[in-house]
Structure formats: structure tokens, C-alpha cells
Amino acid sequence: MIIKNFIFLLKLINTQIENKSIDIRDNNFNDLVKKGYYKFKISQKETDKLAEELKINFRKYNIIGVGDLRLHGLDRASSYVNEFFKENLKEHFKNINYSSSNKVSLFSVLGGKLVAGNNQSSGGGWHRDMYYEQYKILIYLSDVDEKKGPFCYFEKSHKKYFQIINLILNFFSNNITRYNNLIPEILQKLNLGKKKLLVGSKGTCIVFNSSGLHRGIKIQNGERLSMTAYLYPKLENKQYLELENHFKIPNELKKQIIS
């Protein structure tokens, strides 16, 4: 474990401290580069249609119960969802691709329903999806306040120097992308960044670099509906199929032939 983490640390140090210099384009792009995330809103009509598609497919695939309920592959199940993310959010894909070292495209849309009843949060505690760039777009399809399981992001934690500090603090862990609550508290006390609780009315969208520290807050009452777009650079067929299996995409929604 220690040798593996040491090798990973050397690889991380060897990467660029900043992928790109900041070229002032707009506030959204600048926030994505500097903070690791930004927020925007979609229309009521778009929000309601996405929520309807989510509910239809949750019923179709029998996604029921309490806790963190998920269905990956909504973009394959719904032509509206597919077109919405690929066409309506083009400008936000541009922001992501301009800030990223690799051009990304839509891999899959996750439908989420977080239901109170077993002290559940979305995604568990503080974590990174990976130490190298990855981007997501999260959309709240219901009103989300402090008690409805909001998304929480640690500003600037996507930056490489911050990741190296985190990795050193987490060096002896079996899972170097997962953190206990103490580490973010220490980092905030050291003025290295700050936790941002991202509440919002339905239709609120959050673009974020998921190599930064983030988590979902435990839901206390009601339910939270959401969709999350997972964005990846071009993948080899084997990698693509491995991800489909990892995300447990229903067999009928898996892409058998990859162009």
C-alpha cells in the first residue's frame, strides 16, 4: 500500500501544477479554473421535462426504496435527455473543454433520487473521483436546501498542489481518494480553501471538476431528484465497456458497438 501510494505521489508531482494559464473568457469559465466549479440555471420547462423523464425511467427499471437510488444510462433511455445534454448545454461543454487538458464528451447521464429514511447521502463522505481531471454537470430537479442532501465542494481542491498536500495527508490510507471529515477541516483551518454548500432551487446546475474534494450532505427529509452528466475523454472500447459495467448500466442500455 505505501509503495503504491508513493508511486502515485511521484506521478502526481510530475504532472503540471496548472494545466493552462487563465484566459479571461467569462465568469463561469474563470470560476471553473480558479474554484473548480460554477453554477447556472436552466428553464422551468426544461427542468420539468427532465424530471418527468427521470420518473418514467425509474418506474420502468423498478428503481424504488429509500437512500441513494441511481440509474445510469438515462441519455440512452431518453432521446430528450440525450439531446438536452448534447445540444442545450453546448456552451458549458465548451467551458469544460477549454479548461481541460483533454477534450471530453458525454459518457452517460445518471438519474438520482435521494430519499430520506436511512441517513443517506449521495456519494458518501469527502472524496475525489480521481486525481486526474474529470468533469461532471449536476442538475437539481427539485428544490434543494440544507436538509435535502445538497452537494458540497471544497473550493480550489482541484488544483495539483492541493491534491499533492491531500495525498500526503492521506498517504497511509487503503483508499487514497476517500477522506475522513478531519482532513477538510484541517485544510480549511490552514486557509487552503473552503467548503461551499451548494443549495439551489430546481433547475440549478453545477459544473465541477470532480478531481476536487466533494461530497453529498445527508438528507434529513423528503427527496432530492437530480441528473448528473459524466464526461470523459475518448476511450478505448475495453475502457468504455469496463465503465459501463462499473456504473451498472442496464444491459439494454449498453452500447454494443462503439464508433
Q: Which of 160, 141, 161, 138 is nearest to 215 (CA)?
A: 138
Please state at what angle helix 90-99 crosses helix 27-34, rounded to 10 degrees: 40
Series of mean pLDDT values for 10-residue runs along the chain (259 residues): 65 53 71 94 98 97 90 96 95 91 91 85 81 91 95 90 75 73 76 88 97 91 95 88 90 69
> Residue 50: what pLDDT?
98
Domains of the chain: 2-15+35-253 (2.60.120.620)
> Residue 18: what pLDDT?
47
> Residue 258: what pLDDT?
43
Rounded-to-integer distance, Cα 195 and Cα 239, Å? 33
> Residue 185: what pLDDT?
78
> Residue 6: what pLDDT?
62
> Residue 199: what pLDDT?
97
Name the 3-class secondary structure at 203.
coil
> Residue 14: what pLDDT?
58
> Residue 67: what pLDDT?
85
> Residue 70: what pLDDT?
94
Rounded-to-integer distance, Cα 246 and Cα 166, Å? 26
Name the 3-class secondary structure at 70.
strand
Q: Which of 122, 167, 160, 163 is nearest to 140 (CA)?
A: 122
> Residue 13: what pLDDT?
62
